[in-house]
Amino acid sequence: RPFKRLLLTGAAGALGRVLRPAMRGHASVLRVSDIQPMEESGSDEVVVCDLADKAGTDALVAGCDAIVHLGGISVERPFEEIIESNIRGTFHLYEGARRHGVKRVVFASSNHVVGFHPQSEHLQTDCERRPDGYYGISKAFGEDLSRFYFDRYGIETVCLRIGSAYAAPKDQRMLSTWLSFGDLEALVGRSLLAPDVGHLIAYGVSDNPSVWWSNAKAARLGFEPQDTSAAFKDSSAALPAALPGSPEARFQGGPFVTRGPFETL
Ligand code: NAI
Ligand code: 15L
């Protein structure tokens, strides 16, 4: 097995539950963690931990040599919540990684880092970032934080700007942004195993008929999507669509571009 102990954060979440079985093949021991309870399964180490707790996160990372980091708030929320789980949480994780000699991190970034680019644009991985909310800003922070931890400490990270990872596209926008679970699993696998990735950003998207993103500059990952949203062509006309001309229809982030503001005072 390539790694001694692999940590999967966000293991109780939708994608954590999808990825957990496949992650076992990459390490002698799989440690799964979340702020919520998780199922016990086989020899997996199960650790409930709030990533906003620095000492707890340090103990969580101890003994691990690789991390798949999915844990955090996965939708647009008030900034105060995002700060705790996504900004402090990701910082605590990287501090743990530095202190405990982690070699490779796969960071679940998001298409919402670039959500304010128009849908008419085709983006490379090194395009200008245009986050579409606090959530997207927190993912941009994670991309920069991981860049710093590579430049300063040599911890390799693959940042995956995941599109829409679901069993099937749920609306018209997701016909462009859809990432199948099979492609997600393969992409995370390549991100863990590809040699010498340094700090690398890639989009997580299947081979859909219309895609807004190119992984040409991330070719050394060796990821070739096998699925396509074209497989849903018979039912896709019935999927909900944003109002023509609305911000949701114009920008890549879709409904995220109009969420908030949140009054928290
Ligand atoms: P999810 O919301 O189902 O799972 C996230 C998990 O993180 C949850 O189980 C939650 O309890 C946990 N979590 C939240 N705050 C935490 C904290 N302070 N400490 C520890 N755990 C905490 O989200 P999903 O869909 O599974 O996404 C996984 C990751 O992938 C997230 O980072 C999300 O931002 C990212 N992503 C997902 C996409 C998708 O299409 N599902 C698209 C783009 C990015
Ligand atoms: C994300 O980043 C979210 O975590 C997920 O809930 C989806 O909405 C996805 O992006 C998307 O853009 O469809």
pLDDT of 195 reads 98
Q: Is residue 108 within 6 Å of ligand 1 at its C-beta?
A: yes
User: Could you give the domains of the chain?
Assistant: 3-258 (3.40.50.720)
pLDDT of 264 reads 76
137-151: average pLDDT: 99
pLDDT of 265 reads 73
**Phi, psi dihedrals of residue 4, rounded to the nearest 5°:** -75, -55
Q: Is residue 184 within 6 Å of ligand 1 at its C-beta?
A: no
Q: Is residue 70 within 6 Å of ligand 1 at its C-beta?
A: yes
Nearest atom in ligand 1 to the alpha carbon of residue 135 is: 34
Distance (Å, rounded) from C-alpha 256 to C-alpha 243? Answer: 14
What residues does 105 pair with on adjacent strands?
A: 67, 157
pLDDT at 214 over 80: yes
pLDDT of 259 reads 97
Supply the mean pLDDT for the chain.
98
Tell me if 43 sits within 8 A of 68, measured CB to CB.
no
Q: Using one digit for the tens of pLDDT, what is the confidence trace for 64-79? A: 999 999 999 999 999 9
3-state secondary structure of 102: coil
Active-site residue, selected from the candidate residues 135, 149, 153, 166 = 135
What residues does 107 pair with on adjacent strands?
A: 69, 159
pLDDT of 212 reads 98
ipTM above 0.85, yes or no: yes
Rounded distance from Cα 18 to ligand 2 centre (Å): 16
- Proportion of the chain above pLDDT 90, given as a percent: 99
